[in-house]
Amino acid sequence: MITFISSIIILILGYVFYGKYIERVFEIYPDKKTPAYCKQDNMDFVPLPAWKGWMIQLLNIAGLGPVFGAVAGALYGPVAFIWIVIGCIVAGGVHDYFSGMLSLRHGGAQFPMLVQHYLGKVIRVFTDVVSVVLMVLVAAAFVAGPAQLLSSKTPISFFVALIIIFTYFILAAILPINKIIGRIYPVFGVILIVMAVSIAAALIFSGKHIPEITVHNLHPKGLPVWPLLMVTISCGAISGFHCTQSPIISRTVKNESEGRKVFYGAMISEGIIALIWAAAGMTFFGGTEGLAAKLQSVGPAGVVDQISIELLGPFGSILALLGVIILPITTGDTALRSARMIIEDFMKGKVNIKPKALMIAASFAVGLPAFILSMIDYSFLWRYVGFTNQIVATVMLWVSVCYLLRYSKKHLVAGIPALFMTASISVYVLYAPEGLALPYQTALIGGSIVFLIVSSLYVRTILKYAKPNSMPAPARDLYTS
């Protein structure tokens, strides 16, 4: 119990102090007019209040990610608390703040455009592909569960449920942000927050023993904590999906001073939600072996449903039903909207198509494969979502490093988490079944080699920008980009 409550307090303090420090390192310009006004088009560029931007950002990045991922991460025991707290404050919050604010500084640019500006065209093409694939996988993975639950609770068939959800997805992707997303997301946000707060309060006052801190690996199968935990709990610690969502909100931010609340604040909020569900997963089912058996038999949705009913009764059942159906959809719709925006940015100037026609074509181009993939087994999809997600997160951290180096700012705030995630994802791809499936020791050696190569390139870049006369125009001039 002490560990759980202390972790929440540390996350809040992380927002207050470290978030403010990151804001100072980035250096905001409250006097500058943001793209929400400069490019206002009543479609994507629309000024929104900070509270609404925060709410939409939270739902965009959260959904059921910090719920299902945290429950699965609870298999490793209380060490999951450590990863959520440190990862969220030092890595995830930094990642989300820089992705949102750099997008804003570059006129609401999508993530691949930022990659091209700071890392070059070759890596941008790679990032375009990986980002769109990630968006499609997320939309597919997060829609199958709600469709199955709808078909089990109503006369609607699974296939019809998929068609209904994807029809909404297409509409949410092509209609102005303040027509659907800006109106219904605050309601969905209340559901997510009430669900998390209710579970936390009931858990604290239930008298159940929430495990205290330990660095021991309690996974029933003895799977290594590093790097598997860093991929299992991504939403709630650090997630590359977030940098694909931040441009949606960067185009609505009214003032740079709101960035910490909207971007860093949403990440901290998601971390608190992840802590709550990780604690619930560890507390119920008699330990990690019982949790593993329950996940095997009823899946994460069944685990969430059982915890909610036991803690909150009929009210919990309603919350769980609403959460498992609605919250994944709020991630899937903006995933397709982001993919649509990425494709539009890539195709501009390359095809002679009217902007509205291009927008509709791009929406269907990503919606159709997501619809087809949604009929594949969820667990299979989620494995590939995991490592593509963290590859994107790592690239975004390196974009942040290059920005900080270019403008002579304190680059280690992004450099240290970038190096850590580089090592983590390298070992994961070499070790995991969906990667090369090499023995763990071999994967560690291979990951160490990648880490050393990237570290040497980092040092070389540091030395490059340390040379006299290597500075470009001031960072505030990015608004002219």
Q: What is the 3-class SS of the chain, one letter each residue?
A: CHHHHHHHHHHHHHHHHHHHHHHHHHCCCCCCCCHHHHCCCCCCCCCCCHHHHHHHHHHHHCCCHHHHHHHHHHHHCCHHHHHHHHHHHHHHHHHHHHHHHHHHHCCCCCHHHHHHHHHCHHHHHHHHHHHHHHHHHHHHHHHHHHHHHHHHHCCCCHHHHHHHHHHHHHHHHHCCCCCCHHHHHHHHHHHHHHHHHHHHHHHHHCCCCCCCCCCCCCCCCCCCHHHHHHHHCCCCCCCCHHHHHHHHHHCCCCCHHHHHHHHHHHHHHHHHHHHHHHHHHHHCCCCHHHHHHHHHHHHHHHHHHHHHHHHHCHHHHHHHHHHHHHHHHHHHHHHHHHHHHHHHHHHCCCCCCCHHHHHHHHHHHHHHHHHHHCCCCHHHHHHHHHHHHHHHHHHHHHHHHHHHHHCCCCCHHHHHHHHHHHHHHHHHHHHCCCCCCCCHHHHHHHHHHHHHHHHHHHHHHHHHHCCCCCCCCCHHHHHHC
**pLDDT exceeds 90 at position 104:** yes
Residue 439, sorted as left (phi over 0), alpha (psi -120 to 50) or beta, turns out to be beta
Domains of the chain listed by start with CATH number: 2-379 (1.20.1740.10)
Taking only the tens place, the pLDDT of each residue in 133-158 is 888 888 887 777 677 767 777 788 88
**pLDDT exceeds 70 at position 204:** yes
Taking only the tens place, the pLDDT of each residue in 30-64 is 999 999 999 998 888 999 999 989 988 998 887 67
pLDDT of residue 174: 86
The region of weakest confidence among 17-26, 87-96, 169-178, 248-257 is: 169-178
pLDDT of residue 473: 54
- Biggest distance spanned by C-alpha atoms of the chain: 70
pLDDT of residue 300: 81
**pLDDT exceeds 50 at position 481:** no
CA gap 417, 397 in Å, rounded: 7
CA gap 96, 4 in Å, rounded: 24
Residue 346's pLDDT band (cuts 50, 70, 90): confident
**pLDDT exceeds 80 at position 356:** yes
pLDDT of residue 158: 85
CA gap 120, 461 in Å, rounded: 14
% of the chain beyond a pLDDT of 70: 95
Taking only the tens place, the pLDDT of each residue in 382-398 is 778 888 889 999 999 99
The one-letter amino acid code at 265 reads: G
- Tell me the average pLDDT across 203-216: 83
% of the chain beyond a pLDDT of 90: 47
- Tell me the average pLDDT across 447-465: 94
Taking only the tens place, the pLDDT of each residue in 210-241 is 888 877 788 999 999 999 999 999 988 999 98
Taking only the tens place, the pLDDT of each residue in 276-333 is 999 999 998 888 999 999 988 887 877 888 888 888 888 777 777 777 777 777 778 8
pTM for this structure?
0.90
Q: Which residue has the higher pLDDT, 81 or 174?
A: 81
Q: Which residue has the higher pLDDT, 427 or 310?
A: 427
CB 427 within 8 A of CB 391: no
CA gap 246, 190 in Å, rounded: 20
Size (the chain), residues: 481
**pLDDT exceeds 50 at position 189:** yes
pLDDT of residue 480: 47
